[in-house]
Amino acid sequence: MIVGLRGIENCIIFNIVNKIGMKECLIFIIDALKDLAPLFISVIAIWLTTRYQNHSKKMETDRMLKELFAEFNERYDKINNKLDVISKLSVEQWNELSQTKQSENEGVIVDFFNICAEEYYWHKEGRINGNIWTSWEKGMNDIYNRSEIIQNIWEQECQNSGFQSYYITKPNTFFKVSKI
């Protein structure tokens, strides 16, 4: 007996080969592999399917984020110039505006609140990631904090739980309350 093969007699394959012969042993191994082939194929198919689904989900998430991003930016662009003018008005200048002009400007401000609320809602639902939300939240608060008019209208909107129409449970959910 060869010294390096000591204990080989205890090997299952060695025992099978000794009892049934090499040819039969190979046939046995091939049959066993045939039986295991569907299992290997299934594992590979599951892995490929999972990869495809994860990739598809990421692409769909990216597509939705792009659509939301484009929609919010488009809506904001429509009110941006008006919002900028409004945010620079003092309370005295606001009070000097005609009732029609005040109502018109309040509509712009409420549109801004609605955009903010929708951005917050989609962030809370996980459709807008943290980096984008952080940027948008900063912009929202920059506008909010530079205008006493906008802050006053937000306070009016929040009276009698009006803030709940903006998908929030507290008035200061997305605006960091700070008076000028």
pLDDT digits (tens, 9 = 90+) for 153-175: 999 988 888 888 888 888 888 88
What are the tens digits of pLDDT across the range 92-115? 999 999 999 999 999 999 999 999
Alpha helices in 88-129 (DSSP H): 91-96, 99-124
140 Cβ contact list (under 8 Å, min separation 6): 116, 119, 174, 175
With the CA atoms of 35, 40, 43 and 45 taken in that order, what torsion angle do they form, in degrees rounded to the nearest 10?
-100
Q: What is the dihedral of CA 74, 66, 174, 131, to 10 degrees?
A: -130
Which of 52, 36, 63, 80 has the alpha carbon at shortest distance from 127? Answer: 63
Extents of the domains making up the chain: 61-166
Report pLDDT for 2. Answer: 45
